[in-house]
Amino acid sequence: MAIAASCRASYPLNRSELERRHGAYARERKIVAAIGYTPFLLLYVLVHTRLLRPYMPASPHATAAVLILLPGAWLGMLVLLQRWVGPIRHRLRCPGCRRGMVGMRYQHALDSAQCDACGTTVIANPPIAD
């Protein structure tokens, strides 16, 4: 509760602070992606060695399924976890509706200074329209 209250108290942000927080979130996404893709490479390499070949199913289709589904499930789990936890960690959730301001919502917030879902002002000094 104290974290949520402090998060709400910090909004509306300066534009540069929102960009800094989103930059940290984007860097973390790259690290998560690298960790997520590693099992694809590792399993692919290990299955061609004597280390994993005895444990692979006899059917090539089943082997392909193991090589795709297991690392795919790992990657999917990491991506979903980061989408859920990332905006909380980097304080990128809208103070009004608690949705993460990432991706298209982040771009909308930069363009309009408001949350696209609930209209809460998230940037203190919106840019002057052309």
103 forms part of the interface with Zn ion (CB under 5 A)? no
CB nearer Zn ion, residue 71 or residue 86: 86
Where does residue 93 fall: left (phi above 0), alpha (psi -120 to 50 degrees), or beta otherwise?
beta
Task: Single out the segment in contact with Zn ion by CB under 5 A; choices: 42-50, 57-65, 72-80, 88-96.
Answer: 88-96
Residue 110's nearest CA partner among 26, 25, 17 is: 17
| Contact pick of 31, 41, 80, 97 for Zn ion (by CB under 5 A) | 97
96 is a contact residue toward Zn ion (CB under 5 A): yes
Using the 8-state DSSP alphabet, how is residue 93 labeled?
Answer: B
Contact with Zn ion (CB under 5 A) among 26, 70, 77, 118: 118
What is the closest distance, in whole angstroms, from the C-beta atom of residue 99 to Zn ion in the complex?
A: 5
Residues 6+ apart with CB under 8 A from 107: none
Residue 115 interacts with Zn ion (CB under 5 A): yes or no = yes
Stretch that binds Zn ion, among 7-15, 22-30, 50-58, 110-118 (CB under 5 A): 110-118
Count of C-beta atoms within a 10 Å radius of residue 3: 9
Give the ranges where 48-117 is alpha helix by DSSP (H).
60-89, 104-112
23, 29 Cβ separation under 8 angstroms: no
The residue from 94, 102, 113, 123 that contacts Zn ion (CB under 5 A) is: 94
Q: Does 117 bind Zn ion (CB under 5 A)?
A: yes
Q: Which residues form the interface with Zn ion (CB under 5 A)?
A: 94, 96-97, 115, 117-118, 120
